[in-house]
Structure 1
């Protein structure tokens, strides 16, 4: 009879990444590492290197640095300190039989350093949790790719499992709904926007079940054929959140933000939709960003400030961002259950 392992179980939490500082050189370094990832910009390597190093990084870095300076706090980047807070709280919730480490896909703390930490703890197995609710090759897939690239050089590789998606997890949905309900208790909103980070349509199609994905009605249900379809995952998260919030279908809209370059991205685009709402009598909007579990540039600045300004300019009266889960107690409990189930 085999004996059960007696060592700790390692939990690796991974988020996307952030510059070390909001200064232009560090922002440029971050953008280069991020955008040169073949899973993020999936074009031939020569074209990708020319595009990023010759155009995007040199010209976008100074503009992005200004935005990061708006976002930066005394504790640094919100994406970083919310991740560290989550790590500490989850460690406390799971107890001494687990060791929780935190890393970033790009920049620091790195996935390499987090895996080294777990290796030093001699964990029996590792559960990798990319902190992206909806699976996408450019986010979750990239984390999985990097983890496997690192551990392939270990002489002893423990059992490793990946939590590839939690878009429909009941605890995740409940925790996010609680945040929205607090705002809904304080004011009456005409409509709710669920704004997700966009992806090029080609990336969704590349990972689809051939002959099934149409970038349309196929996402009205979530099943084994579209389980790893980013668009379908966004829609199921929205349907479950809407149900938890008590919304009818006509009371919310699913949109996509942050598009880059000229290729067609998932639609409808958030910035285009919000401009049409005041003309329809929708003057108060509650805005969610359910693709992000921690506040960052895309939530605080893009949705919280830029979209608010666009909406008010179009005639809207109130645009309220629902904060991300960050390290809320409900999210820690939900994440604990996700880990225990795996």
Structure 2
């Protein structure tokens, strides 16, 4: 008879459509983009924009992209690797823990994961949003949803949240190890491409609502004043990676991908950086995506296909994506540390 678990771990990733069909992609986009932390405009405008314009027009195009990365046996890469992480972490932690997996959008839902944890009468639940760098639109949205659902409970175990792990040593080491398989010294330049955010979403990092990344020096340092700034955390992750890879400051560029709409997003944009490095005669690029713990549409297709094609059209020769953490044994140990560390 197995031991009854006393501690719960809830891993939460962003989400993925249930299938690459247009209908399922549209359903996913609607849930994702109507989140007020993702598109932070008044609810009526947001719903009209997403349901009336973005989802209907974007779903057919996005469905084709998902079809390109969808595996006939394993399905969505993000869900596949997330489920592997859940299973392997459960094996590492043993019977004293119960590990649940949820997606912020679509299935498995946060509601279903919490419904599984609730009757276990656990001593504690640790929520681990699988986003290395904190942002209101990702980690903040996960915490918001968990709180919304758990506030209906009559009794609460001890609840803790891992807000970020941008400097997690295991994460850094896995990215470096994965990069070394591609012989970084054979590339002309390295890109650290992070998921983008609207610039306006960085202003609330400070309680005053007037945070200014340039004045705060977020690209150069991270400290108490910008501790939860997404931009500062992205650059902090980059510095750790560059140091371990022994890259000179001229040998790499930080950039941001996946922007939506016409509002200003964090710059420089990855597409603009590709033009810049191509104009300088760079032919071979090594690209990291350190905002993702699992390979997904944004890494496999956006970088591995779209940016690779764009770079070749600009005169480049090769773009090599450094694979994400996925199910690397060292990353599972890193997750174990996040799950058990006293915070």
Q: Displacement of 1:330 after TM fit?
A: 1.2
| Unmatched tracts of structure 1, length 5 or more | 1-5
Count of residue pairs the alignment pairs up: 336
Residue 303 (structure 2) pairs with residue 307 (structure 1): no
Moved over 2 A (4+): 206-219
Residue 10 (structure 2) pairs with residue 8 (structure 1): no
Equivalent position of 2:241 in the other structure = 241
The match for 1:47 among 42, 45, 48 is 45
TM-score in terms of structure 1 length: 0.95
| Whole-angstrom CA distance in 2 between matches of 1:114 and 1:314 | 46
Q: Given that residues 202 and 211 in structure 2 are in contact (C-alpha distance below 8 angstroms), is that contact kept between their aligned partners in structure 1?
A: no
| Whole-angstrom CA distance in 2 between matches of 1:184 and 1:10 | 40
Equivalent position of 2:283 in the other structure = 283
Equivalent position of 1:170 in the other structure = 169
Equivalent position of 1:320 in the other structure = 320
Q: Which moved more, 1:175-184 or 1:23-32?
A: 175-184
Q: Which moved more, 1:112-121 or 1:52-61?
A: 112-121
| Whole-angstrom CA distance in 2 between matches of 1:331 and 1:218 | 27
The match for 1:34 among 32, 35, 55 is 32
Equivalent position of 2:67 in the other structure = 69
SS across alignment from 2:225: coil
| Whole-angstrom CA distance in 1 between matches of 2:126 and 2:149 | 15
SS across alignment from 2:307: helix
Q: Displacement of 1:122 after TM fit?
A: 2.3
Q: Given that residues 7 and 124 in structure 1 are in contact (C-alpha distance below 8 angstroms), is that contact kept between their aligned partners in structure 2?
A: no
Q: Deviations over 1:78-114 (max 9, x none)?
A: 1111100000000111111111110000000001111
Q: Displacement of 1:214 after TM fit?
A: 3.1
Residue 238 (structure 2) pairs with residue 223 (structure 1): no
Q: Which moved more, 1:203-212 or 1:318-327?
A: 203-212
SS across alignment from 2:36: coil
| Whole-angstrom CA distance in 2 between matches of 1:87 and 1:175 | 18
Equivalent position of 1:150 in the other structure = 149
Equivalent position of 1:194 in the other structure = 192
Query: Residue 155 and residue 209 in structure 1: after superposition, are their counterparts in 2 closer, same or farther (change >3 A)?
Result: closer
| Whole-angstrom CA distance in 2 between matches of 1:120 and 1:108 | 20
Q: CA RMSD in A?
A: 1.4
Query: Residue 153 and residue 214 in structure 1: after superposition, are their counterparts in 2 closer, same or farther (change >3 A)?
Result: same
Equivalent position of 1:119 in the other structure = 118
Equivalent position of 1:3 in the other structure = none
Q: Displacement of 1:209 after TM fit?
A: 5.6
Q: Given that residues 193 and 255 in structure 2 are in contact (C-alpha distance below 8 angstroms), is that contact kept between their aligned partners in structure 1?
A: yes
Query: Residue 86 and residue 279 in structure 1: after superposition, are their counterparts in 2 closer, same or farther (change >3 A)?
Result: same
| Unmatched tracts of structure 2, length 5 or more | none
Alignment of 1:99-114 (within 5 A): 99-114=98-113
| Whole-angstrom CA distance in 1 between matches of 2:333 and 2:174 | 9
| Whole-angstrom CA distance in 2 between matches of 1:67 and 1:227 | 35
Equivalent position of 2:127 in the other structure = 128
| Whole-angstrom CA distance in 2 between matches of 1:265 and 1:171 | 30
Q: Deviations over 1:267-313 (max 9, x none)?
A: 00001111221221321110010000001110000011100001111
Q: Displacement of 1:148 after TM fit?
A: 0.4
Q: Deviations over 1:294-340 (max 9, x none)?
A: 01110000011100001111111111001111111111011111222
TM-score in terms of structure 2 length: 0.95
Q: Displacement of 1:27 after TM fit?
A: 0.6
Q: Displacement of 1:16 after TM fit?
A: 0.4
Q: Given that residues 215 and 231 in structure 1 are in contact (C-alpha distance below 8 angstroms), is that contact kept between their aligned partners in structure 2?
A: no
Q: Given that residues 195 and 287 in structure 1 are in contact (C-alpha distance below 8 angstroms), is that contact kept between their aligned partners in structure 2?
A: yes
